[in-house]
């Protein structure tokens, strides 16, 4: 068995606009998806998923990829998770020059699904790494990131940037602008995440922004302005000492940019009442800035606050289900030691 893990991420700036070639700065955080892969004698794929903010589930289906699994849990999120795993398997088989190989796959994750923390990217990245290593092939990080992007692109009908998958593969803070992907040296920013317990439909949210952008010049300008915010933020980060804690003035300036970024995302229709509530609660509690992270529609916000105040404020905010401090994950995808694989959940064939 081979086991790999990859981190989730928060967007400091730039989600949605990155789909249209503007830069974005996502930062990997210490919440990981772990994927264990064991090749099978037949060409079946058996997926067991645990801790995906759902009751665990297990599905088994014939044909290495492409066939629809017979899932008796009709949750769109479960189907989405299976789609990403399927796409990761397809990329791994292609990289190894194999077909008709089946796998037993176990996914364990402490990243809530579809909540803006890059759960799908982390599963795809870790899945490609574990499955290729199971087939005796070691891919370098660039190829894992590229194949993970292609997997997300396929599942999301072409509505994906390289940001989530590159960040999850490399770890740390990264900058993505079109095909140009780089790692950044940044200080460890004091991220606080608030989660409303919900999820957004990335495909529908990206399509909504696309429609607005095509319909209204001012919506296209809004997307361009998010790009300006990211460039301004990058400049601030490049002047900071990556080895020291960020000073107050940097946090104040980054926070102002995050607030502006959230306002523009709200204007583009991708926020929600609960995300806005959490953003305002974080600001009221003293966060330097707060914004939604990821596709939006529900899920998570990210705030900047080195003190415990924002966590306390969010804990008492109606509609906020979970709050945690998110440390920068300096390591991206990595091989893990094997561990016991006790089976839980249902099996549908
Ligand atoms: C989703 O985590 C981020 C979006 O910008 C889509 C993407 O970049 O693929 C909304």
Q: How would you write the chain as a 3-class SS string?
A: CEEEEEEEEEEEECCCHHHHCCCEEEEEEEEEEEEEEEECCCCCEEEEEECCCCCCEEEEECCCCCCCCCCCCCCHHHHHHHHHHHHHHHHHHHHHCCCCCCEEEEEEECCCCCCCCCHHHHHHHHHHHHHHHHCCCCCCHHHHHHHHHHHHHHHCCCCCCCHHHHHHHHCCEEEEECCEEEEECCCCCCEEEEECCCCCCHHHHHHHHHHHHHHCHHHHHHHHHHHHHHHHHHHHHHHCCCCCCCCHHHHHHHHHHHHHHHHHHHHCCCCCHHHHHHHHHHHHHCCCEEEECCCCCCCEEEEECCCCHHHHHHHCCCCCCEEEEECECCCCCEEECCCCCCCCCCEEC
Q: Indicate whether 63 pLDDT > 50.
A: no
Q: What's the CATH number where 122 sits?
A: 3.30.230.10
- Tell me how far the alpha carbon of residue 202 lies from the centroid of ligand 1, in angstroms: 7
20 found inside a domain: yes
313 found inside a domain: yes
Average confidence (pLDDT) over 42-49: 85
Q: Given the CA of residue 205, which atom of ligand 1 is nearest to it? A: 10
16 found inside a domain: yes
Both 181 and 228 in a single domain? no
User: What is the C-alpha to C-alpha distance for residues 110 and 260, in angstroms, rounded to an integer?
Assistant: 29
Both 10 and 26 in a single domain? yes
Both 267 and 285 in a single domain? yes
User: What confidence score (pLDDT) does residue 78 get?
Assistant: 66
Is 116 among the annotated ligand-binding positions?
yes
**CA angle 332–320–123, rounded 5-degree value:** 25
Both 164 and 219 in a single domain? no
Both 101 and 153 in a single domain? yes
User: What confidence score (pLDDT) does residue 342 get?
Assistant: 42
- Tell me how far the alpha carbon of residue 257 lies from the centroid of ligand 1, in angstroms: 19
**CA angle 244–332–148, rounded 5-degree value:** 140
Both 99 and 181 in a single domain? yes
> Does the beta carbon of 311 lie inside 6 Å of ligand 1?
no
348 found inside a domain: no
Q: Indicate whether 263 pLDDT > 80.
A: yes
> Does the beta carbon of 295 lie inside 6 Å of ligand 1?
yes
The 10s digit of each residue's pLDDT in 175-192 is: 999 999 999 999 999 999
349 found inside a domain: no
Q: What percentage of the chain reaches a pLDDT higher than 70?
A: 88
Residue showing tokens 């900047």: 304
Q: Given the CA of residue 121, which atom of ligand 1 is nearest to it? A: 2
User: What confidence score (pLDDT) does residue 50 get?
Assistant: 67
Q: What's the CATH number where 250 sits?
A: 3.30.70.890
142 found inside a domain: yes
Number of domains in the chain: 2
Q: What percentage of the chain reaches a pLDDT higher than 90?
A: 76
User: What is the C-alpha to C-alpha distance for residues 302 and 14, in angstroms, rounded to an integer?
Assistant: 13
67 found inside a domain: yes
Residue showing tokens 């529609």: 297
331 found inside a domain: no
Both 213 and 314 in a single domain? yes
Both 170 and 203 in a single domain? no
- Tell me how far the alpha carbon of residue 229 lies from the centroid of ligand 1, in angstroms: 17
Both 199 and 179 in a single domain? no
Show the domain range for 178: 2-185
Both 223 and 297 in a single domain? yes
The 10s digit of each residue's pLDDT in 306-328 is: 999 999 999 999 999 999 999 99
Active site residues: 164
Both 226 and 322 in a single domain? yes
> Does the beta carbon of 296 lie inside 6 Å of ligand 1?
no
User: What confidence score (pLDDT) does residue 340 get?
Assistant: 53
Both 75 and 135 in a single domain? yes
């Amino acid at each position: 068995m081979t086991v790999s893990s990859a981190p989730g991420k928060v967007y400091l700036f730039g989600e949605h606009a990155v789909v249209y070639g503007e830069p974005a700065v996502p930062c990997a955080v210490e919440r990981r998806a772990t994927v264990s892969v064991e090749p099978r004698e037949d060409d079946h794929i058996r997926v067991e998923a645990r801790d995906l903010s759902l009751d665990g589930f297990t599905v088994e289906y014939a044909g290495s990829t492409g066939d629809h699994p017979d899932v008796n849990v009709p949750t769109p999120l479960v189907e989405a998770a299976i789609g990403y795993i399927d796409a990761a398997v397809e990329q791994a088989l292609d990289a190894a020059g194999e077909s008709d190989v089946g796998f037993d796959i176990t996914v364990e994750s402490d990243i809530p699904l579809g909540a803006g923390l890059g759960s799908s990217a982390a599963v795809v990245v870790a899945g490609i790494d574990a499955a290729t290593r199971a087939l005796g092939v070691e891919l370098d990080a660039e190829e894992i990131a590229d194949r993970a992007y292609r997997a997300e692109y396929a599942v999301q009908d072409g509505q994906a940037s390289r940001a989530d998958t590159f960040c999850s593969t490399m770890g740390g803070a990264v900058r993505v602008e079109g095909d140009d992907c780089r790692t950044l040296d940044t200080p460890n920013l004091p991220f606080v995440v608030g989660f409303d317990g919900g999820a957004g439909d990335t495909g529908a949210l990206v399509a909504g922004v696309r429609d607005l952008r095509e319909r209204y010049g001012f919506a296209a300008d809004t997307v361009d302005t998010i790009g300006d915010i990211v460039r301004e933020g990058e400049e601030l980060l490049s002047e900071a000492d990556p080895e020291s804690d960020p000073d107050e003035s940097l946090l104040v300036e980054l926070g102002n940019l995050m607030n502006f970024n959230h306002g523009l995302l709200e204007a583009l229709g991708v926020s929600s009442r609960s995300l806005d509530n959490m953003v305002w609660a974080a600001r009221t509690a003293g966060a330097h800035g707060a914004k939604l992270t990821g596709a939006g529609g529900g899920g998570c916000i990210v705030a900047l606050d080195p003190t415990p105040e924002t966590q306390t404020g969010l804990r008492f905010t109606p509609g906020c289900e979970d709050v945690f401090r998110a440390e920068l994950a300096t390591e991206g995808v990595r091989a893990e030691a094997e561990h016991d694989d006790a089976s839980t959940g249902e099996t549908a064939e």
